[in-house]
A = this chain, B = another copy of it.
Amino acid sequence: MTFPRLAPQRNLDKREIAKFERRFCMYDRNIVQAFETSEYRARLDKVRALMSSAGMDALVVISQANQCYLLGYNSLSGDEPQAALVTLHNDPYFILRKMDANAAVEAGCWLPQDRIIAYPESYVGGEASAWDVIGQFVKDKVGASARLGVEVSGLGVFSYPRLVAALGGEEPIDASDLVGSCRLVKSERELLYMKEAAAIGDRAMLAGIDKVAVGVRHCEVGAAIMSALCAGTESIHGGPPVSPPYIRGGMLAIAPHQFWIDEVFAAGQQYYVGPITGTRHRYVAPLTRTVHLGPVPPRRQNQHEGVLAGHRAALDALRPGATCADVARAFQAAIRPYGLTKDSRLGYSVGLDWTDGPSLGTNNDTEILANMTFLVHLGFYEPGEFYFLSDTVRVTESGAEPLSNVPRILFERPA
Q: Which residues of A contact B (CB under 8 A)?
A: 30-32, 74-77, 79, 98-100, 102-104, 106-107, 120-122, 124-128, 152-153, 155-158, 160, 217-220, 222-232, 237-241, 244, 252-262, 343-345, 348, 355, 359, 361, 363-364, 381
Q: List 22 A-B contacts (CB under 8 A).
A: A75-B257, A76-B257, A99-B344, A102-B381, A103-B254, A121-B345, A124-B344, A125-B363, A126-B359, A157-B160, A219-B230, A219-B237, A219-B238, A220-B230, A220-B231, A223-B226, A223-B229, A223-B238, A225-B230, A226-B227, A237-B262, A240-B244
A211 to chain B, nearest CB (A): 11
**Pair A223/B227 contact, Cβ less than 8 Å:** yes
Closest 8 CB pairs of A and B: A125-B359, A126-B363, A240-B259, A103-B255, A223-B230, A240-B244, A77-B257, A227-B227
**Pair B259/A32 contact, Cβ less than 8 Å:** no
Cβ contact of A231, chosen from B121, B160, B223, cutoff 8 A: B223
**Pair B152/A155 contact, Cβ less than 8 Å:** no
Give the chain B neighbours of A104 by CB distance below 8 A: 255
Give the chain B neighbours of A31 by CB distance below 8 A: 252
A325 to chain B, nearest CB (A): 10
Give the chain B neighbours of A220 by CB distance below 8 A: 230-231
**Pair B32/A256 contact, Cβ less than 8 Å:** no
Majority secondary structure, A binding face: loop
Give the chain B neighbours of A227 by CB distance below 8 A: 223-224, 226-227
CA–CA, A11 and B203, complex, Å? 37
Assembly stoichiometry (copies): 2
Cβ contact of A258, chosen from B76, B124, B244, cutoff 8 A: B76
**Pair B153/A381 contact, Cβ less than 8 Å:** no
Report which residue of A31, A102, A104 has the largest number of chain B beta carbons within 10 angstroms of its beta carbon: A102
Q: What is the chain B residue whose CB lies nearest that of A242? A: B244
Given contacts A102-B381, A156-B155, A230-B244, contact A256 B77 (CB under 8 A): yes
A268 to chain B, nearest CB (A): 17
**Pair B256/A100 contact, Cβ less than 8 Å:** yes
Give the chain B neighbours of A258 by CB distance below 8 A: 74-76, 103, 106-107
CA–CA, A64 and B363, complex, Å? 27
